[in-house]
Amino acid sequence: MAGAPLNAPLELTSTYVGSMSTAAGAPVYGRSDNATWEALESAIGTLEGAPDGCVAFSSGMAAVAAVLELVPVNGLLVVPPAAYNTTLELARRLEAQARLRIFTVDPSDLDAVRDTLEPGGMVWVESPSNPLLEVVDIEGVVRIAREVGATTVADNTFATPLLQRPLTLGVDVVVHSVTKYLAGHSDLLMGAVVTRDTTLREEVFTTRRLTGAVPGPFEAWLALRGLRTLDVRLERSQTTARELARRLAGHKCVGRVRFPGSGGMISIEVIPNTAAVADRVVAAMRLWTSATSLGGVESLAERRRRHANEPTSVPESLIRLSVGLEHVDDLWEDLAAALEAIDGG
Ligand X SMILES: *Cc1c(COP(=O)(O)O)cnc(C)c1O
Q: Which residues pair with 43 in a beta bridge?
A: none
Residues 48 to 87 in contact with ligand X, rule: CB under 6 A: 59-61, 64, 84, 87
Q: Where are the alpha helices (DSSP H) in the chain?
A: 35-48, 60-68, 85-96, 110-116, 138-148, 160-163, 198-211, 217-227, 230-249, 275-284, 328-344
Tell me, yes or no, if 231 is annotated catalytic: no
Identified catalytic residue from 155, 172, 279, 334: 155
CB nearer ligand X, residue 155 or residue 310: 155
Judged by CB under 6 A, which of 157, 237, 267, 299 binds ligand X? Answer: 157
Residue 240 near residue 63, CB atoms below 8 Å:
no
Tell me, yes or no, if 252 is annotated catalytic: no
- The DSSP letter of residue 60 is H
Residue 283 — left, alpha, or beta (φ > 0 → left; ψ -120 to 50 → alpha)?
alpha
Tell me, yes or no, if 228 is annotated catalytic: no
Minimum gap (Å) between residue 175 Cβ and ligand X: 7
Q: How far apart are CA 325 and CA 302, in angstroms?
A: 17
Neighbouring CB atoms inside 10 A of 19's CB total: 7
From 31-39, 160-168, 174-182, 225-233, span contacting ligand X (CB under 6 A): 174-182
- The DSSP letter of residue 152 is E
Tell me, yes or no, if 31 is annotated catalytic: yes
**How, if at all, do strands 318-322 and 300-303 pair?**
antiparallel
Residues 184 to 203 in contact with ligand X, rule: CB under 6 A: 189, 191
177 in contact with ligand X (CB under 6 A): yes
324 in contact with ligand X (CB under 6 A): no
Residues 85 to 104 in contact with ligand X, rule: CB under 6 A: 87
Identified catalytic residue from 16, 31, 99, 143: 31
179 in contact with ligand X (CB under 6 A): yes
Identified catalytic residue from 33, 165, 172, 180: 180
Q: How far apart are CA 171 and CA 241, in angstroms?
A: 28
CB nearer ligand X, residue 41 or residue 126: 126
Identified catalytic residue from 84, 165, 196, 279: 84
Which positions are catalytic? 31, 84, 155, 180
